[in-house]
Chains A and B, each alone.
Chain A
């Protein structure tokens, strides 16, 4: 398996090298929204005399910069790409190979994140300076962040794949994608740190997977959680990742039986 992955890695790096500018541009999309909401919350915070519900203006900056980094590291576009592959009949040859299509996507995903991470940090540094960021974390926040971001990235990736399998039945899944994106927008901590949204929204965020792939790692990286709370969040992430993996295996197997592309 390791040897296969090494080969895939080399092949994908070569493929990705052709689209360097595109890769960096895609990054813009993950940066611009957090910056917009950061600016808005800064305005709100200033109107309220420098702090809102325990978040100071510089806390907002720390949160949204953390959110940008987490957003970048948890990006998964498979629900879009998979639909395209199914429609174009490109899935069939992939299914014939001995390796599950998922593995190609894993490598592609990792390479994109690795190549765009450095430019992202540069932009984040720029934002940090403009918004006077302050970090109030402890060393263990950073330690906790490592498993949290890994779980979050895996969770987001698996959710994208679960959604992708819907293509087997529906052919076009734009609407489902939009639904997921907009609910994520509402409940994953993009419009506000989850502590500031109404309680009923918090309940949805933490009982469904939304909080666990974006807000949770961002709060941990910002240094905004206690140790117990942080560990509890990790458990929540692990549980949802487990559920997503099970759901994917189930949906994949059932979906393949439905699959009827050209040549399948």
Chain B
């Protein structure tokens, strides 16, 4: 199939076929990162701007490496030191950037809908690198890529997502993407961290970690989103981790070759123990590697073609 979208704003609107196209394309690009000359000329002459209103090292670096490995030129804008600090609106920032004709703008913002605003008014391809609690599509895609790599198929998987679900864009994007396949998704958190009516998204809800991990092929641990009010939902980090920190003992209940995932950054001891994070079931570092390949695929598909 052909990719026709101008932007990547979320996984909710993607079809199963589009997700598979992205994953298959990422497969080819991963080899580039594993050889000596980690570059292909595919996006030579294209300009990719990363516009990050929220701090991030890993996602921004991942996009930058992905763009550079495709031979694109990259510019990074983080807003503390820019015109935004002087009060410029998002639309004005976007329009100013567009006058310099970037092919792609990768935007991370603290408010849902910000990438959509830019996508409506700019010709550049817009990639959502996280908009508030709404979506983080490239994270979900690299998560699915990792799951598929380790489990060979996405259909039939039983996945547990544990943590601050209500504030988590990673959770949302993963849920939307996973439900395009024949998967069973269980969200686990204290009730205060679950949005009401979550079952409407087709997921199961559990409040106890032991229950949630039983029989699962994939366990995805999430960080408490302090910056989005997550700590107000629990009495203390200490109590949270006594109930929801993933320990080695929990893994006995899961499937034999369970994989442990985390979008990072890790809060060791809060949501995941050292033994599990560094243990044989953890694929956290694979996720990071796959992130570059997936982002290369996204950049390639969005900039290819005349459209």
User: A and B bound?
Assistant: no
The residues of A with any CB-CB pair to B shorter than 8 Å are: none
The residues of B with any CB-CB pair to A shorter than 8 Å are: none
